[in-house]
Amino acid sequence: MSPLLLKITLVLLFMSIIIPQKSVGEYEQWCIADEQTPDEELKVALDWACGEGGADCSKIQVNQACYFPNTMTNHASYAFNDYFQRFKHKGGSCNFKGAAMITELDPSKRYPLTVFKKNERIPCA
């Protein structure tokens, strides 16, 4: 093996050791309401998530920490994400009959009044 090729191999090996690599399952994901979905459809999906679906929606009730902003999109996003984080490893999805979608962009950057914590069930402080 030539000295140059050996140096390149060692550098690449060293870089692969010191630079952490994320596997597909390690990317941060949040389940949010699709803003194009009508409020009536979001409401049906929100009711399912908070009821039969098993999401903890106590924090989006009146006078609770995540009630504001008080919009159907924000409340649905909270419920969808809570459900998704709880059940994604047990076969749960982020679909809600097309009312939701997965994002790898931190929603708190898009919705500054709502603080989403990465890969956690409770997306606001």
Determine the pLDDT at residue 115: 46
Query: Which segments of 1-125 are extended strands (E)?
Result: 30-33, 100-103
Rg (CA), the chain: 20
DSSP for 8-23, written as a single string: HHHHHHHHHHHS----
Q: What is the pLDDT of residue 17?
A: 74
Per-residue pLDDT, 19: 63
Cis ω on the peptide bond leading into residue 123 (within 30° of 0)? no
Low-confidence ranges of the chain (pLDDT < 70): 1, 14-16, 19-26, 110-125
Cβ atoms 108, 63 nearer than 8 A = no
So what's the pLDDT on residue 21? Answer: 54
- Can you read off the two tokens belonging to residue 113? 């009044």
What pLDDT is recorded for position 15? 66
